[in-house]
Amino acid sequence: MKLIMRNSVGVRLAVVLAAAVVAVACQGSALGFDRAPASLDPGSPSISASNIAFDRSEVAVPAGQPFILLFDNREAVPHNVSIYADNSLKDRKFEGLIVTGPATRWYPVPALAAGTYLFQCDVHPAMAGRIVAS
């Protein structure tokens, strides 16, 4: 058995992949509360998900101030909402905690400068829309 563990290309491959997975796992920074903050503004923006789709393709949010984004996942499939600067997905402004529904999460989104952003589900990138901060 020791010989197999030392010599197998497959085992070496698995060790490299395991190290990569652990490295990625240590970088997680997703946020999301499982109950509404006490100071929640009743007019807070919201997005819901069902049938592998969001209920809206555009969400308006206040520019220059943090806000709570209410995310309602209505199906037993994992979803989240993350916000990116643009379609390149290189600059993530906020990463929402992935949640398997039915469940609701309150995302504390940091202040966004005025402009248009992309939001998407990181599990199903085809689920996407625009956030307009103004």
Partner 1 sequence: MKTLRPTSPAGLLLRAVIVGLTLATGWIHLTLGGPLFTLNGVGYGVAALAMVLPLAIAIRLRWLIRLGLIGYAAIAIVAWFVMGPRYDIAYLAKAIEIALIILLAIEVHAYDGNPVGRIRRAVRRPVGA
Contact between residue 93 and residue 85 where contact means Cβ atoms under 8 Å apart: yes
Is 75 a binding residue for partner 1 by CB under 8 A? The answer is yes
Smallest distance from partner 1 to CB 118, Å: 15
Interface segment toward partner 1; rule CB under 8 A; list 38-46, 58-66, 71-79, 106-114: 71-79
Is 77 a binding residue for partner 1 by CB under 8 A? The answer is yes
Give dist(CA 68, CA 61) in Å, integer.
10
Nearer of residues 97 and 131 to partner 1, judged by Cβ: 97
Contact between residue 80 and residue 98 where contact means Cβ atoms under 8 Å apart: yes
Comparing C-alpha atoms, which of 54, 85, 86 is closest to residue 70? 54
Contact between residue 53 and residue 68 where contact means Cβ atoms under 8 Å apart: no
Interface segment toward partner 1; rule CB under 8 A; list 37-45, 64-72, 106-114, 122-130: 122-130
Is 88 a binding residue for partner 1 by CB under 8 A? The answer is no
Q: Can you say how many angstroms the Cα of residue 18 is from the centroid of all Cα atoms in its chain? A: 23
Q: List, in sequence order, the alpha helices (H) in the chain.
A: 2-7, 9-25
Give the total of residues touching partner 1 (CB under 8 A): 33
Residues within the interface to partner 1 (CB under 8 A): 1, 3-4, 7-11, 13-14, 17-18, 20-21, 24-25, 27-28, 30, 52, 75-78, 80, 97-98, 100, 122-126
